[in-house]
Amino acid sequence: LEFCQRLPKVELHAHLNGCVRDGTLKELAGQTLLGGQPMCLDQLVTLTELSKSSPTLGECFALFEVLHQVTTTHAAIRRIAREALEDFAADNVLYAEIRTTPKVRPEAGVAPESYMDSVFQGIEDYYLASRKPRGKDIHVRLLLSINRQRGVGEAMETVRLAAALRERGVVGVDLTGNPTQGEWLELRPALDLARKEGLKVSLEAGEGYNPSETQAMLEWRPDRLGHCCCLNPALEQALVRSGIPLEVCLTSNLLTRAVKSYGEHRFPLYYQSGHPLALCTDDPGILNTTLSREYAIASHAFKLTQRQLVALALGAASHTFLEEEEAEELRERMKAALPRDI
Ligand code: 5GP
């Protein structure tokens, strides 16, 4: 783990609300009124306990519904954004693409635009307090998440908002949320629009077995894919042939039961095929992990040497949604940040 902590890293798949610290969540719950009553802390205990006890995918999404009642205020989301950057920077992450679903919560005065303003304020708060020189500090970009449960109308709005916020660091969108809900064909027009707008697109795919959807997603050729744990052999080969970079979230895949054990994970197949991969955290706060820990898990489970871990970390810097010039600068920053003994 110590070696992985010293490694400069790039995070490409982290959900903002999944980054919330345990302590912050408890504090926010204590301040939250639901229907005029203080939020029952038992609900949150269940949530924290649940995340330790290998919830099913359905339970995970129910867990987020509770969490969002606590975190969807302007002040909370601003704080969570700042703390997320603090935590990534402390873990030697030099660049992070953080994704979040713009939310509506009228009772808290939250609309998608104002929600995003709070995220930007949180990022600014981080830089105001950071003592690191800008060139050595974490850089951040955002993806707006399309929640597949919420239909194509909201998806279109999310894409339009992402396009409008490009100047402020939004580089793309991702398709997220409960994979058992929402039809690919229904949602596709929103993703077509994103592509037309020049936004990058990542799709969370294959969290459960759904070969026809996964195949359709591969044929659509997104810029990146997440998970892809539950693919049949033909689709695994199709993924390898596609060369589409894959965001791998090991702890998440295990805890959400997308795989039963790391022994069953398809990482080795993709790794040995030379497929472009990026280790990521998914929900570091909720899953109690860090990117360093994900590298340590990969090293242990798949017997990777230190040299291979370095190559993996540097490789991830080539799969960002940055423009080529910025991506090159990141690769240089990564190399310069490698510890001398590596
Ligand atoms: P937010 O978008 O609210 O900042 O982050 C939480 C949201 O991310 C969840 O409500 C869910 O839609 C999405 N999310 C977090 N973890 C996962 C995951 O493992 N798989 C999928 N498909 N979506 C996730």
Q: What is the model's pTM?
A: 0.96
Best CA proximity match to 281, nearest among 259, 258, 250, 312 = 250
Residue 5 counted as domain residue:
no
Q: How far is the CA of 256 from the centre of ligand 1 (A)?
A: 12
Q: How far is the CA of 282 from the centre of ligand 1 (A)?
A: 8
Does residue 71 have its Cβ closer than 6 Å to ligand 1?
A: no
Radius of gyration of the chain measured on its C-alpha atoms? 19
Bridge partners for 76 per DSSP: none
State the residue range of the domain holding 305.
Answer: 10-337
3-state secondary structure of 261: coil
Residue 320 counted as domain residue:
yes
Catalytic residue at 207?
yes
Q: Which atom of ligand 1 is nearest to the CA of 101?
A: 2
Q: Rounded CA gap, 181 and 179, in Å?
A: 5
Does residue 282 have its Cβ closer than 6 Å to ligand 1?
A: yes
What was the ipTM of the complex prediction?
0.99
Q: What's the DSSP call for residue 279?
A: E
The number of domains in the chain is 1
Q: Rounded CA gap, 14 and 267, in Å?
A: 19
Residue 313 counted as domain residue:
yes
Q: How far is the CA of 177 from the centre of ligand 1 (A)?
A: 5
Residue 278 counted as domain residue:
yes
Report the nearest-CA residue for atom 8 of ligand 1.
15
Q: DSSP for 165-222? A: TGGGTEEEEEEES-TTSS-HHHHHHHHHHHHHTT-EEEEEE-SS--HHHHHHHHHH--
| Among 97, 207, 213, 294, the one annotated catalytic | 207
> Residue 89: which CATH number?
3.20.20.140
Report the nearest-CA residue for atom 24 of ligand 1.
177
Q: How far is the CA of 325 from the centre of ligand 1 (A)?
A: 30
Distance set, CA 88 to CA 25, 122, 164, 260 (Å): 18, 14, 26, 28
pLDDT in tens, the chain (342 residues): 899 999 999 999 999 999 999 899 888 888 876 666 666 656 565 555 665 666 677 778 888 888 898 999 999 999 999 999 999 999 999 999 999 999 999 999 999 999 999 999 999 999 999 988 888 899 999 999 999 999 999 999 999 999 999 999 999 999 999 999 999 999 999 999 999 999 999 999 999 999 999 999 999 999 999 999 999 999 999 999 999 999 999 999 998 889 999 999 999 999 999 999 999 999 999 889 999 999 999 999 999 999 999 999 999 999 999 999 999 999 999 999 998 777
Q: How far is the CA of 75 from the centre of ligand 1 (A)?
A: 20
Residue 268 counted as domain residue:
yes
Q: Are 161 and 116 in contact (CB under 8 A)?
A: yes
Distance set, CA 100 to CA 7, 38, 118, 251, 303 (Å): 26, 26, 12, 20, 33
Residue 2 counted as domain residue:
no
Residue 166 counted as domain residue:
yes
Q: Would you state the torsion angle of the CA atoms of residues 119, 112, 117, 333, taken in this order, to the nearest 10 degrees? A: 40
Q: Which atom of ligand 1 is nearest to the CA of 15?
A: 5
Residue 342 counted as domain residue:
no
Helical ranges in the chain per DSSP H? 2-6, 22-31, 41-52, 57-71, 74-90, 112-129, 151-164, 184-196, 211-220, 233-242, 250-255, 267-272, 284-287, 291-302, 306-316, 324-337
Does residue 18 have its Cβ closer than 6 Å to ligand 1?
A: yes
